[in-house]
């Protein structure tokens, strides 16, 4: 069968979306069953931002002969391609002591929605995003690889995030625009994370002050750093303890603790 190499959990999630009348999809993670409601703009974000993965979604839809709307199926495949590996990679660094989380460049915040549901304790999340994107950057240090968005395509991450959090009734997930972080300098975070954003798409200096001010004394920072500039060096200069926890073709993921 064409789908014999496809992830069984992915197929089950696609089935769950079809069975929910396309309202949500569910994912089994250990003893937890996580449920994520779709929202149109969030599906558009995946389709437009993660455009390199469009063909994969089309292929899966064909192979499974699925009736699910293509952009919803693309959101599920994005979830399995990025969010599940992120959760597995971070699992051992998250504990019941992790009560306040900051996610810099959260995209549509699927990681945070997921984490919020697998926690057995109450936690609060702040997610930083930009109001508007005019192009999609790829980290190669070559501006030629930035994709300019077509005239009809609008990517408004803050607005999209807010809509998705409302659709999922996630009242403890707060959205912050990158232009208003000054109002949040009093906050304290146990976990600051940034997947493929801070120190990867833009300079580490951009949130350096914010992160050093708001990290709890025993908190940890996890971020993917570009291998094409001095981000890794800069990260090492901030913390006494730095550990490499993952690697990809154009970045390395580090964990930092104990600010210098």
Q: Which residues lie near ligand SAM (CB under 6 A)? A: 82, 104-107, 128-130, 133, 157, 178, 195-197, 201-202, 206
Q: Give, for 252, the enclosing helix (H) or strand (E).
A: strand 251-259
Q: What is the 3-state secondary structure (H, E, C) of 57-84?
A: HHHHHHHHCCCCCHHHHHHHHHHHHHHH
Three-state SS at 16? helix
What is the C-alpha to C-alpha distance for residues 174 and 178, in angstroms, rounded to an integer?
13
* Minimum gap (Å) between residue 40 Cβ and ligand SAM: 17
Q: Which is nearer to ligand SAM, 111 or 239 (CB)?
A: 111
* Minimum gap (Å) between residue 98 Cβ and ligand SAM: 18
What is the C-alpha to C-alpha distance for residues 42 and 17, in angstroms, rounded to an integer?
15
Instruction: Pull the structure tokens for residue 195.
Output: 């997947």
* Minimum gap (Å) between residue 131 Cβ and ligand SAM: 9
Q: Which is nearer to ligand SAM, 201 or 245 (CB)?
A: 201
Q: What are phi and psi of 202, to 5 degrees?
A: -150, 165
Q: Which is nearer to ligand SAM, 64 or 251 (CB)?
A: 251
Q: Which is nearer to ligand SAM, 114 or 195 (CB)?
A: 195
* Minimum gap (Å) between residue 109 Cβ and ligand SAM: 8
Residue with tokens 């926690």: 119
């Amino acid at each position: 069968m064409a789908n014999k190499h496809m992830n069984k959990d992915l197929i089950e999630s696609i089935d769950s979306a079809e069975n929910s009348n396309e309202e949500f999809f569910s994912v089994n993670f250990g003893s937890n069953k996580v449920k994520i409601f779709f929202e149109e703009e969030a599906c558009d974000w995946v389709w437009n931002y993660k455009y390199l993965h469009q063909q994969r979604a089309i292929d899966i839809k064909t192979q499974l002969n699925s009736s699910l709307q293509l952009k919803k199926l693309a959101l599920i495949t994005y979830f399995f391609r990025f969010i599940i590996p992120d959760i597995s990679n971070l699992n051992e660094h998250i504990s019941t002591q992790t009560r306040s989380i900051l996610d810099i460049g959260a995209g549509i915040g699927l990681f945070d929605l997921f984490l919020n549901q697998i926690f057995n304790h109450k936690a609060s999340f702040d997610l930083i995003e930009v109001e508007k994107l005019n192009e999609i950057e790829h980290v190669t240090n070559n501006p030629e690889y930035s994709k300019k968005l077509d005239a009809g395509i609008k990517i408004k991450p803050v607005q999209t995030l807010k809509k998705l959090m409302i659709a999922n009734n996630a009242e403890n997930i707060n959205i912050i625009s990158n232009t208003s972080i000054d109002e949040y300098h009093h906050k304290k975070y146990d976990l600051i994370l940034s997947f493929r954003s801070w120190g990867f798409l833009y300079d580490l200096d951009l949130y350096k002050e914010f992160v050093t001010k708001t990290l709890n004394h025993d908190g940890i920072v996890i971020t993917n750093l570009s291998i094409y500039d001095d981000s890794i060096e800069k990260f090492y200069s901030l913390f006494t303890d730095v550990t490499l926890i993952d690697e990809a073709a154009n970045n390395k993921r580090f964990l930092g603790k104990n600010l210098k």
